[in-house]
Copies of this chain bind each other. A is one copy, B any other.
Amino acid sequence: MSRLAAPGELGIVDVGTLHTEAGARIPGAQIAYRRWGELHGLESGRTNIILVEHSLTSGPEADEWWPGIIGPGRALDTDRFCVVCTNSIGGFHGSTGPSSPHPEDGRAWGSRFPGISIRDQVTAELAFLDALGIPAVHAVVGGSMGGARALEWAAMAPDRLNAAGVIAVSARASAWQIGIQAAQIDAIEGDPHWHGGDYYDTGHSPREGLATARRIAHLTYRGELELDERFGVEAQTGENPLGPYRDPQQRFAVESYLDYQARKLTARFDAGSYVTLTDALNRHDIGRGRGGLNRALSSIHVPMFIAGVDTDILYPYHQQEHLSRNVGNLLGMAKISSPVGHDAFLAEHRQMDHVLRRFIHLAEESVHGNAASHFG
């Protein structure tokens, strides 16, 4: 096998040609990743890898978006585990996506980049492990889009992981999610700078559309309780949204905050990747081609830990309860209690530390239990 990138450094792995679920090809695909902790167990066919799956616009910098979770003695303990975080195919943190050079002409893939599903993201990760000569991982864990990938991992490659941690996600996209996510895609595709996805050499980008998408998305990530505690009906400093005539320059504080979030995203993320990954979320359906939702879930025998957030409006907690009732081998379940909403799986560090320690503990118990029954 090739050597892993140095701890914390960005590595890039060639994974060859990917074939998507819908029948397209991605030749010359690359997957970017970072890792923390040393890899063990290759010889036994089982490794100590914990594969961490990022959400929509984040990347392999799991130490940044899950601060305090990864490290020596932490919930994801790098004294014992090799924590690996790959960037999704289609993403914008080093893996091949719409903004990457196409192998044939070196110009951006743009509209030539196919529509991908959550399953295609997992296919790419399995190819990534193959390329590195890694037969299996210990666990796969993630929240939101990362949770969807962890769930598909358990369905697609049950022999290649011991346990899955599925956080703040559902068995499939809901109509509401598709609706609000389609509104975000529409905002980008309706931007005159979008050019059907082929804007990369025009000197412009659909920044305004992406900003609009982010403003809407952020309101699905953040609970209304938390937003209201912070901003209420306050005016932005120096502005007056209560004037005699409406003026878009006179904003409430929450509008300014959402504008700031939008600017932050447009400065660091690509609109093409945003559309591709949001479309992948819309395609999320664990039951597709597997006899329906609950049959598919009940056939998943990988030990699974499920967590959700009580105030999540994007992936409401009843969706995690549905998962927990139907998966074939439930390790345990946790409810994160927070005013923050969906993003609590990133923001509530104390609770997430607890949830992830419990997941890792139950996953190991499950492995040892199985070992005992097999060999004891």
Contacts and interface: CB of A to CB of B under 8 A. Distances in A.
A233 B228 CA distance: 32
Interface string A304-316: 0000000001001
A224 interface: yes
A179 B115 contact: no
Interface string A343-357: 000000000000000
Q: How many monomers of this chain does the complex have?
A: 2
B173 A233 contact: yes
A12 interface: no
A117 B245 CA distance: 11
A117 B243 CA distance: 10
A152 interface: no
A254 to B, nearest CB: 4
A219 interface: yes
A283 interface: yes
B248 A189 contact: yes
Interface stretch (A19-27, A79-87, A123-131): A19-27
Contact of A228 (B175, B208, B246, B258): B175
A216 to B, nearest CB: 6
A276 B22 contact: no
A23 B244 contact: yes
Contact-size category for A: 35 or more
Contacts of A227: 174-176, 179
Contact of A231 (B23, B175, B252): B175
Nearest to A20: B244
A230 B115 contact: no
B246 A115 contact: yes
A175 B246 contact: no
Contacts of A190: 208, 212
Interface stretch (A35-43, A139-147, A157-165, A180-188): A180-188
A233 B179 contact: no
A20 B177 CA distance: 39
Nearest to A314: B224
Which has the most chain B C-beta neighbours within 10 Å: A179, A246, A258, A288?
A246
Which has the most chain B C-beta neighbours within 10 Å: A114, A117, A185, A252?
A252
B186 A244 contact: no
Contacts of A258: 179, 182-183
A347 to B, nearest CB: 16
Which has the most chain B C-beta neighbours within 10 Å: A24, A190, A254?
A254
Interface of A: 20, 22-24, 111, 114-115, 117, 172-180, 182-183, 185-187, 189-190, 197, 208, 212, 215-216, 218-219, 222, 224, 227-228, 230-233, 241-246, 248, 251-255, 258, 275-276, 279, 282-283, 285, 288, 313, 316
Given A182-B252, A186-B212, A187-B212, 4 more contacts: A115-B243, A175-B253, A176-B228, A190-B208
14 contacts: A22-B242, A24-B244, A114-B245, A115-B242, A174-B224, A175-B224, A175-B228, A175-B232, A176-B224, A179-B254, A185-B248, A187-B187, A242-B283, A246-B276
